Each structure stands twice: as structure tokens, then as C-alpha cells.
Structure 1
């Protein structure tokens, strides 16, 4: 039986055993793998959590990485979502980590960063994929055609997540939204939950977890074209304490009071909602269904490595600064990697090279997160505050909607 490894010495020996060689060799050679990988000396961040730097040589030039290793077999260690308290808001990773007292963290999902194709429509800052914090579902995934970020590999959807179960085991998973609105004998299926884009003809539910961002963006674009015009036919119904309290023809903004749910429909969904009138009794039910079991933490992105094999269709031509998470030791170990954005390393890695790098670091499964100016890795500094370990490519931290936080009791 494999012994449980705790502390810096055990962590250092495990990583050295999995990737101590500086030259890349074996089955990855010639298949999109960086030409070389070397690791710096390990440093302890906290019991069960270690940090080190690594250097890689990709096809577009040298890259430099910053790596957190998280041992989930250490009972004092946990992983949870870092976010600003609501879905439609952004903050830097270091501030998010400081607020929650995390000992380390990286940035998370891709997000609704800009709206150049929809003049007058505000970007929400909300992430693309599902999100779960502390076992509580915060949002579901936007349609695949409405996402931001690089092209996904074959067979992947915006519902794919990196998750940690209530059993403390990390895994790749998929979270599908299920929701229903009932009023008397009438029943209407929901197609979205706290997301910046709704399917055409759909109805979405928005709760206080959404925040104050305008809900107008949710009615823009189509399931296959993010830049398509906004819907002309919309309807918003506010349900308060189980009854319809207000009806509006336009999507609103501002905080949603506790005890309230806003139902927003576009096109056919708006016509379906028009059956509701002020005073009607309404019941709204919603949940995220996991393929693998109960989830305590989850966030979106997309898988690039599964069961030790790179997914088909990964981009092997476009290099960029990137962030990724890897799963090893049957879900008991996480690798969190953020590349450096300094000028000499800004070429970064292709997605194919990133998948190969995560495999060489010891990951069996790996998940790509937002990159470029968002790529950030922090650890708790000596003054009790989070210190940014990499150099964000924009010259300073970018505000992001969420991230992965590492906590030690």
C-alpha cells in the first residue's frame, strides 16, 4: 500500500521522482511536448502544499512556469472556489486569496470580458462554465457558441469542469443544469442559471448570487454566434417569496433581494413567461447534476489531458501564456501551473505542449484555465498577504471572476 506523503520532504521526493529529469524523453517526444523541462528547488508553503518554479522550452521559445502542488490526503488541506462573492464581478487573484485566507491559488475560468459587437451592452465579467463554492451551486454554463477562450478539443463542452467531490477527491467532471418553473398546473423548463448568455428561446433564473450586473447581455448572441444581435422579444418576471411581484419587458440590473428570483426569457422563452401574472404563486427549482457524484468545488475551463492522453484536436500551433490544473494519484493530488508573462517568456506554450507538460509533471488528467493577462499564481507571503509569484503578461494582475484557492486549517 502506498504510504501517505505529508510535509515538504515527502512532497519534494514525489515531484523529483516524477519529473526530476531535465530532458524530455519517452512517448511524448515529437508529439507536441516541450523539448526540455527543468525544475527549481521546492519550497514549503504550508503542510501538504509546496511551490517551485520550472523552465520549459516550447516550439516558440522558452517558457517559465510556477507550480503549486496540493496533497489532498493531508486532512488540513482543502480546495475551494475563489470569487468576489457574486457571479457577475471581478477581482485580482491576490485580493481574492487575501479575503478568504488562502495559502495559494491560481486564476480560473474564461469570462465575459468585453462586448465590442454589442454597442451599449455592458460586459458582465461572469465566467463561462459552471461554478460551485463550498458545495453550493452558483451558476451553470453558457451555450458553447457563447464562450470566450481558445477552441476546445473534440467532445468537450462548456459544461466540463475541474471538481473536487465531497469525498475530497479531485476529478474532471461535467455539470448539467436542470431547472423547472411551476405555477399551478403549468410547468416551464429552465435553460440557464446566473449566466451571461441564455440559449435562444430559453428562460434563465437569476438569484442574489448573480450580483448587480445588467442581465441584458444574457439576451444577446445565439447558441452558435456570440456576436449576433440581441433579442428584440424579452420578458423579465420577478418572483418574491413564492409569488410574481413584477413583470418587465426589458432585462434589469442591480442587486436581487434575498428571497427573490428573477426569471428572464428571450424570444420563445419570453412568450412562455408571459403566461405568468402579478400575484401568481410560483415555485422555482434548480440544480447542477454531476456525472460522478456530489461536488464541493467546481469551476469551468476545458480538459486537455484525460487518463494520461492528450485530447484530440488540441491546438498545436498557437502559443500563449497559460494556466492549468492537473490531477494525479487517483485524485488525491493537484498540480496548479501558471506560466510567466515576462517578455522573454511571453511566447508561452501551445495547448498540445501544455498537455504534454502537465503529463510530464505527473498529472494523469489536466484542465486548461484562462490564460494571457489572466494567468496568475499566488502564495501566502511572509507578511500574511498573498504574493504574486509569476509576472502577469499585462504588467499587473488582471481582475478575474474566479480562481482555485488552496486552504490549510
Structure 2
């Protein structure tokens, strides 16, 4: 072989080795990239979910429950909002010691520990171990379709107990279930078919979706608890007619699988759930001289990292409007929410103080109780008033006692863009003065309430004169004006957020109830009703409280509610709107009552977790 040919062969071999090396590296990269792209784990969002949504479907019916799925190794895990899983699947959430672990009981002999993760604003339980024996949950866009349990009701038994009535359904296998309850009726819906339709001990109508307070006299001690079964294909409803004051407590058993429904006056059982860092949910009974009261609380450490409180309006663009508390919380991404101030149910306008980031959304009225807070977790309580002085360029002074208020009285009121884009007269024979860039630009008579809508300028406000309180010529077109306002007590001026309601119940550990002094009617003062409150304990923790009927009777009076709050450790406490408005939500679900009985509300207090 010639030397030249040998050199060519060496070069060719070297090139081939280089090419083989390059091809191998390229192939490995391509295969690695393919494997990388095929792995669902890399598609996970910053929340850790590969897919998520806010509703689940059971047997073709949708429920508002947040869900998410994530990858661990080769297995896809499914998480559901914990309070949603409790109310829609029937999981019994048991006492826990850590937010990252949640013991549950669901058709099992022993408690099962589920992992929990918090992705704002919800706490998700890993329900994968529970679903494994039922089938696979399928994601379809925003909806997670739960597996069909294919369960059947095999037998139904009932019997009187010293505390009420027990109904036991024996099932072929575990099934999802939900409870809806009003004052004297309730329905349990179970995702299980039945051939025993019509069985029961009497007739009962379905629960009507109407807001109501759970008032009433003493329980009907000897009245029989009636129930009946209604077959609905692969689901069954058990309708109950209950004496006043009775509620359902539902639990599950295994070997054989059973759904146990107890109708009793002392439901629900006590529990303490460490829900997130700085947030604890409890339900318990509080004993005072007047009786035993079921109380639901969410205790918030406002100094815990990432936690903040904010007033919420049902309508984020204007003061007018109402909505269910859970809707307000879900839409505004609040982890916790409680109904707050009073409002007019007819025109849906707030009646009391609401201010956020130093912006008055609604002004205080009648020197009623209020709470204010800042972003450092500090609070103040007191009876709040606000007075504004309108001063003209010539030095004339007018006092405006109402700011963005639905409370209509003779005097001068002011309405800013925080009220909404427009103002409609709230009484007859008003006069409006339009202020833009600190100058009167127009004035008009508004002869009839509810007519002649007026735009509120973005660079100004409206002054409304009710009862001819402004002398002629004082606010002539072209007059310059400025406004100065101060809150009383003075301490409130240092706090950027707050809510007014009333009456003030506890101040520095003492009961200071004076409903008449805060302008509440005698009927309101004497009422026994469901109650809501916001309180602070000696450690500065904020306690959100909802209380309903006492065992064997009606709800608490204002004085009794103050005693209940003292038992909870409150050193300062404010009564909030109550009755059918009383609502306490966690993770987008009501904790204290069935949604069918809860009224729409105007405003709320929301707790947020970053």
C-alpha cells in the first residue's frame, strides 16, 4: 500500500471515530430530551401541580371543590381541598397536630393519615390512597370526574336512642355522601343505588334553598324524627323531618361498610384542626349559665409570615351588591372569611364602616363598634365616628357626617369613586354638588329617590345635601373646596383597614355591651339568634367566631354571646351581623351551616396567605 493511501485510511478512520462519537452524543441527547419531554413531572407549575381546577363531578353533578394533581415517581397523585373533601366526599377530618398531616376516617376501622399541602388559598389532602380502591379520577379541563363507586344500599335499619334517632345504611362498598340541612329538615345524598326506595318511617320534603336564621323555641322533645328514602338511579337521598334544634351527625363504619346517620341536639362533635401555619379551626361546645352553645372558630395569628387580613366587598367595583360569603371568598382568593357589617337587604347598600388601605368604602354610622388593624398584626377596638369638615376658599365651613353611606339622615353626605361609578338619590328632595379638582363644577336638584343617576367624577366627588343644610350660594359653581376628616377615637386614624358593625361586646377583658347607645332597636337587643364576632385574645391572636342554637333552644342573646366570647379567651370583641348572615368559611366552604340556609352578605373580613 502506498504511503499516501495509508494516510488517507488513517484520516478516514479518525473522521469515522469522530463522527461515531458525535452521533452517539447526539443520539443520547435526543433520547434524553425525548424522555425528559415525556415525563409529566417537568410540566408541573410553580404550585407543583401538573393540572388543577376548581370543581369536581360525582355521578354527573358538579361541586365547587378545588383539586390538583402532581407526579411522585411514576404515580399521579390527586389532592382535594380539605373542607370540600369533607363536605362532598364525606371525609371525617379528625384532630391533627401538624398542617402537613390530616387524620381522616372514611369507611375504615382505624384513622388514615393523609398528607396535606397548602397552595394558596387552599389546603389539599392527598386522597390517592382512598381513591385507589374505587378507581381513577379523570381530569376534564377544569373538572375532576370522580370514579363511580358502583355502591348499593343493602339494608336500612333505624332505632330510637336516648339522644334522638339513628338510621344505619349497610352498603356494598364505600360511597361518597353529602348533607344539606335547614331548620327542621335535612337531606343526606349518597352515591349509592338502592332497590329499597320508599322505606322509612314517614314523609319528609326536600330542603328548600332559602336563607333563614335557626331561631325557634325549645326542641320538640317527644316529636318523632321522620325519614324516607328516595331512589335516584345510582344515587339515593334520605330525607329527614326533624324537631327544632336537632341536627344530623353522619359517620362511617367498616366490616360491613355502613353509613350511620344520627339525629341529635348535640351535634357536631368537637375537633381541632391545625389548618395552616398560624391558622387553627375548632368546633366545640361552650357552657355558660344560659346553656350549652355549639361554636365554630378560626383562630389566626396575624403576625405569622405571609398572613394578612383585608375587608372584602361582595361587589369589587361598587358598594352596592350582595353575594354568598363562599362566593366572595372564592372569587377574591381568601383562605378564611367571615361575614362582617350590616347592610340594607332591599337596596343592598352597606350600613357601617368599611375601609381598606386608608380608603373609605363605606363610612361609620351611629357611633357603633368597630375594629381596625394594620399589616403588622396590631388591632384596635372602639365605638367609631367620622366627621369631615368641608372648607370653602372664603373660609366657610360645613360639616359632613356621612361618607359613602347607605344610612340616610338629614344632613350633608359625601360620595367618592369608592362608592362606585354613579350615585342614585337615596331620599326625596336632595341637592347634589359636583366637585372636580377641588372645585364646584355643577349643582342640581334631585327631587325623587331612585331616579336621575349621577356620575361620580374620578377626580373628585359628590356632596349631597339632605334637608337643605347648605345655605344658598355657599357652594356656588366655581367655589374651591377642601375636605379634612378625622376618626374618633383618635387611635383609629393610624390603622389602614377596618370594619364597623356592633355592638362592641368586650373591651380590655370587660363586657361593655351598650346596644341602645349604639343605636340598635329594642327588638334587636332582645333577639336570640345566630351570632358572628371578631375578637382578639391576650396573645394578639384574632378569633373569628360563629355560634348557632344552644342545645335544646334558640341562639344566644347579645349578653350571652359576650359571655361565650369571654370563655373563648377574648379580651376585645366586636359583634358582627348575625342571624341568617352568620357564616364562617375556610378553604372555600362554609364550616358552621349548610349553604342553603345562609343569606347573601354585603361585606366580609378575609384572611389571606401568601
Query: Could you say if the C-alpha distance between residues 196 and 78 of structure 1 is closer, same or farther in structure 2, counting changes exceeding 3 Å?
Result: same
Distance of aligned partners of 1:329 and 1:62 in 2 relative to their CA distance in 1, 3 Å threshold = closer
Matched ranges for 1:8-407 at <5 A: 9=97, 40-56=270-286, 63-83=293-313, 84-85=315-316, 86-114=318-346, 123=347, 125-142=348-365, 144=366, 157-158=367-368, 160-165=369-374, 167-185=376-394, 186-200=396-410, 202-211=411-420, 215-217=424-426, 219=427, 232=429, 234-250=430-446, 252-253=452-453, 256-269=456-469, 271-272=470-471, 274-293=473-492, 294-302=494-502, 303-312=504-513, 318-330=527-539, 332-340=540-548, 347-380=554-587, 386-391=588-593, 395-407=596-608
Q: State the number of aligned residues.
A: 332
Give the TM-score normalised by structure 2.
Answer: 0.49
How far does residue 259 in structure 1 lie from its aligned partner after superposition?
Answer: 1.2
User: Larger C-alpha radius of gyration, 1 or 2?
Assistant: 2
- The answer on whether the counterparts of 1:37 and 1:57 sit within 8 Å (CA) in structure 2 is no
Which deviations, in whole Å up to 9, do the C-alpha atoms of 1:281-323 show, x marking residues without a partner? 3333445454325113211122112222222557885311111
Is the Cα–Cα contact under 8 Å of residues 137 and 287 in structure 1 kept in the other structure? no
Q: 1:278 to 1:312 in 2, by over 3 A?
A: closer
Q: Contact (CA 8 Å) 1:323, 1:368: kept in 2 or not?
A: yes
Deviates more, 1:254-263 or 1:320-329: 254-263
Farther-moved stretch of structure 1 (369-378 vs 45-54): 45-54
**8 Å CA contact retained: 2:359, 2:418:** no
CA deviation after TM superposition for structure 1 residue 215, in Å: 4.3
CA contact (8 A) 2:271 2:284 kept: no
Uncovered stretches (5+) of structure 2, i.e. residues with no partner: 1-95, 100-265, 516-523
| 1:227 counterpart residue number | none
Could you tell me how far apart the structure 2 residues matched to 1:194 and 1:131 are?
10
Larger RCO: 1 or 2 (CA < 8 Å, sep 6+): 1
Q: Distance in 1 between matches of 2:423 and 2:359?
A: 23
Answer whether contact 2:360 2:418 (CA < 8 A) is retained.
no
Provide the C-alpha distance between the structure 1 equivalents of 2:574 and 2:267, rounded to a whole number of angstroms.
Answer: 19
Unaligned runs of 5+ in 1: 1-7, 12-35, 115-122, 145-156, 220-229, 381-385
SS in 1 for 2:544: strand
The question of whether the paired residues in 1 share the 8 Å contact of 2:401 and 2:412 is answered with: yes
Change (3 A) 1:55 1:75: same
* TM-fit CA distance, 1:340: 4.2
Give the Cα separation in 1 of the matches to 2:291 and 2:465. 48
* Aligned residue number for residue 40 of structure 2: none
> Aligned partners of 1:253, 1:198: CA distance in 2, in Å?
17
Three-state SS of the structure 2 residue aligned to 1:373 is helix
Structure 1 Cα separation of the partners of residues 384 and 455 of structure 2: 26
* CA shift in 2, pair 1:291/1:165, >3 Å: farther
2:286, 2:567 within 8 Å by CA — same for their partners in 1?
no
Distance 1:326 1:301 in 2: 13
1:14 is matched with none
Structure 1 residues 138, 366: CA separation in 2 closer, same or farther (over 3 Å shift)? same
SS in 2 for 1:359: helix
* SS of the residue 1:45 aligns to: strand
Q: Deviations over 1:219-246 (max 9, x none)?
A: 4xxxxxxxxxx5x4x2111112333232
Checking the alignment, whether the CA contact within 8 Å between 1:93 and 1:106 is kept in structure 2 is yes
Deviations 1:169-199 (A, max 9, x none): 1231344323232332033222221012354
* Contact persistence 1:56–1:65 (CA under 8 A): yes
Q: Secondary structure of the residue that 1:102 maps to in structure 2?
A: coil
More strand by share: 2
Contact 2:506 2:513 in 1 (8 A): no
The answer to whether the 8 A contact 2:422-2:456 is kept is no
CA distance in 2, matches of 1:397, 1:318: 18
CA distance in structure 2 between the partners assigned to 1:263 and 1:68 by the alignment? 41
